[in-house]
Amino acid sequence: MDRQPAAGASVSSEAEELILVDALDRVLGHASKADCHDGDGILHRAFSLFVFNPDGALLLQQRSAGKRLWPGYWANTCCSHPRRGESLDEAAQRRLEQELGMRCELRYVYKFQYQARYGERGSEHELCSVFVGSTAAAVQANRTEVAAWRFVMPEVLDAEMATTPERFTPWLRLEWQRLRGDFRHELPTPLG
């Protein structure tokens, strides 16, 4: 069941400075979020979080209509960028709390580079670190950032992605394939 989030404030801007990196994750400098996503994009550091509940269901969010790239698409629990001077761990916890009102212990799983274009609106060009966690914390989604949210069992998500891949962000499709394949052992198992 899709759940509608509560009201909330905007937690990012096109002017915030992101961390530019090379393919080996060495810092090259900084640029605005807007510049990083214009045209074909500039490679920058990012993260994706996959948070599961005690039953083993993954928390997905539908991106708000106000997002520049992939508005209204279903994405993983949370994804964003560390800002200038911020570590991945700090950024992941900050954004999880800002978007979904929760905290969770996160485990780094893997890193990958991808580039995806969203028509004339711009591109994602990221070196993305993927984290997994599990919590029983209640979701308190920020309406400015999240249009809706839901928990889904892994096999149900597999089926949905096979039949309606166009509903999901390109990074979620890439990351989920790797998590369900190469890193299957990293996914939490139901506690009950």
Say which of 126, 128, 145, 175 is annotated catalytic: 126
Residue with tokens 């920058």: 44
* 91 neighbors 61 (Cβ within 8 angstroms): no
Among the listed residues 4, 101, 90, the one whose alpha carbon sits nearest the alpha carbon of residue 47: 90
126 carries an active-site annotation: yes
Quickly count: other Cβ atoms within 10 Å of residue 15's Cβ: 9
78 carries an active-site annotation: no
Residue with tokens 């279903």: 74
Say which of 36, 78, 79, 128 is annotated catalytic: 79
Report d(CA 136, CA 103) in Å as an integer. 10
Q: How is residue 61 written in tokens?
A: 């969010």
Active-site positions read 79, 126
